[in-house]
């Protein structure tokens, strides 16, 4: 009697089909694994994009990041940037202290004050602007600091860095407070107005107000570059006159060291670009609202001493400058000199 086939018996050809399907699954799995591996390898070494919040002031300290701002707007930077420009440093200090900004370009003494207020919570990563102060007058007899004896000098910033810097240079050139008179105005435009009315008067102005005053009145000229005079009395190896620096929150630096390093590289490239191409820089300065007219910005840029000084050179220049300010009034730098951890030299 013929025995019936069991229910699990295969029909002819079924075994070959199942074996073929199993082989296909193994090949598909291998291919998928290779694809995933390739995807992972493609991401190896690629830095994750970080959103960086940058604050700066409407003035020379922001001119060095104009090309960086333009690149970021076009999406040409590795990280994304959110820029905030303020008219006064008092707007940026609380934002840095509260962690609402990651990086800020501020006056040198303000950075020291911020360091004290945050109990060492910020560090300087570069000097972005050197001296931008100039003695402007129509008096052709003023060709040296000594010629300021007996003169009234109009300026802004009573009790701040312009006054301290000027008094330091005057003192180092042998002039005492009884040899000259300082008359303070609330705005640089007021100083420019005095010079416009009386070209024989003497004013201390920052860029780009210097250029604007010269364009409006051809009787005026730059008699003295205070940055140059500072360097003369400091001598070789001395500190520089530092207008602006770039600070970073230490928490942000610790969490994103590569991002800060990338910012410094892009900052340096932006500085080189604006110094090499004042025409393009002028257009960007007007677009950013730093300067009202391109001709003013174009002529001002070469005299704004826009730099990106890092490392030990940064520390030497800044610490020496802060010591001068501390000798004038310690409260200008937060009461005392900041510690060594204030200077991040990138080592």
Each residue's pLDDT tens digit, 162-210: 999 999 999 999 999 999 999 999 999 999 999 999 999 999 999 999 9
| Domain presence at residue 7 | no
**Of 234, 254, 282, which one is at a domain's C-terminal end?**
234
- Residue recorded with tokens 């001709």: 295
**Of 234, 262, 287, which one is at a domain's C-terminal end?**
234
Does residue 86 sit in the same domain as residue 121? yes
Q: What is the pLDDT of residues 240-276, one digit of tens each?
A: 899 999 999 999 999 999 999 999 999 999 999 999 9
**Of 198, 218, 234, which one is at a domain's C-terminal end?**
234
In contact, 65 and 287? CB cutoff 8 Å: no
Give the count of alpha carbons within 13 A of 260, CB side only.
23
Segments in the chain below pLDDT 70: 1-47, 237, 347
User: What tokens were used for 180?
Assistant: 């000259």
Can you give the pLDDT at residue 237?
Answer: 67
Gap between the Cα atoms of 293 and 80, Å rounded: 29
In contact, 51 and 79? CB cutoff 8 Å: yes
* Tally of structural domains, the chain: 2
Provide the domain limits for residue 331: 51-131+241-342
The alpha carbons of the chain give a radius of gyration, in whole angstroms, of 30
Gap between the Cα atoms of 152 and 158, Å rounded: 15
Does residue 250 sit in the same domain as residue 287? yes
Nearest 5 degrees, angle CA 143-CA 144-CA 150? 100
User: What tokens were used for 28?
Assistant: 């598909």
Q: What is the DSSP letter of 148?
A: G
| Domain presence at residue 40 | no
ω before 208 within 30° of 0 (cis)? yes
Can you give the pLDDT at residue 73?
Answer: 96
Beta strands in 180-305 (DSSP E): 181-185, 202-206, 221-225, 242-249
Q: What's the CATH code of the domain at 92?
A: 3.40.190.10
Can you give the pLDDT at residue 168?
Answer: 95
Does residue 247 sit in the same domain as residue 338? yes
- Residue recorded with tokens 């830095």: 47
- Chain centre distance of CA 135: 25
Q: What is the pTM of this model?
A: 0.83
């Amino acid at each position: 009697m013929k025995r019936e086939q069991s229910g699990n018996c295969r029909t002819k050809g079924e075994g070959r089909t199942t074996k073929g399907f199993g082989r296909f699954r193994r090949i598909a799995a291998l291919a998928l694994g290779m694809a995933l591996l390739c995807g992972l390898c493609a991401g190896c070494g690629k830095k994750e994009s970080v959103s960086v919040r940058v604050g700066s002031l409407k003035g020379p300290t922001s001119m060095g990041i104009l090309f960086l701002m333009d690149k970021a707007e076009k999406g040409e930077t590795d990280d994304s940037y959110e820029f905030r420009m303020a008219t006064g440093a008092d707007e940026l200090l609380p934002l840095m202290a509260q962690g609402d900004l990651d990086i800020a370009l501020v006056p040198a003494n303000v950075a020291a004050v911020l360091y004290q207020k945050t109990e060492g919570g910020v560090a300087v990563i570069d000097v972005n602007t050197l001296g931008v102060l100039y003695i402007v007058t129509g008096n052709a007899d003023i060709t040296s600091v000594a010629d300021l004896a007996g003169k009234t000098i109009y300026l802004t910033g009573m009790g701040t860095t312009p006054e301290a810097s000027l008094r330091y240079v005057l003192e180092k050139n042998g002039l005492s407070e009884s040899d000259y008179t300082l008359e303070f105005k609330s705005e640089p435009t007021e100083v420019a107005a005095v010079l416009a009315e009386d070209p024989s008067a003497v004013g201390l102005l920052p860029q780009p107000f210097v250029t604007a005053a010269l364009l409006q009145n051809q009787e005026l000229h730059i008699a003295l570059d205070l940055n140059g005079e500072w360097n003369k009395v400091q001598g070789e190896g001395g500190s520089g006159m530092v207008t602006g620096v770039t600070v970073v929150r230490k928490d942000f630096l610790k969490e994103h060291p590569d991002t800060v390093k990338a910012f410094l590289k892009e900052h340096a490239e932006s500085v080189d670009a604006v110094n090499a191409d004042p025409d393009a820089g002028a257009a960007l300065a007007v677009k950013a609202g730093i300067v009202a007219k391109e001709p003013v910005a174009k002529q001002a840029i070469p005299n704004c001493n826009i730099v990106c000084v890092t490392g030990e050179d940064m520390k030497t220049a800044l610490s020496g400058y802060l010591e001068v300010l501390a000798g004038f009034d310690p409260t200008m730098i937060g009461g005392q000199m900041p510690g060594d951890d204030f200077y991040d030299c990138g080592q």
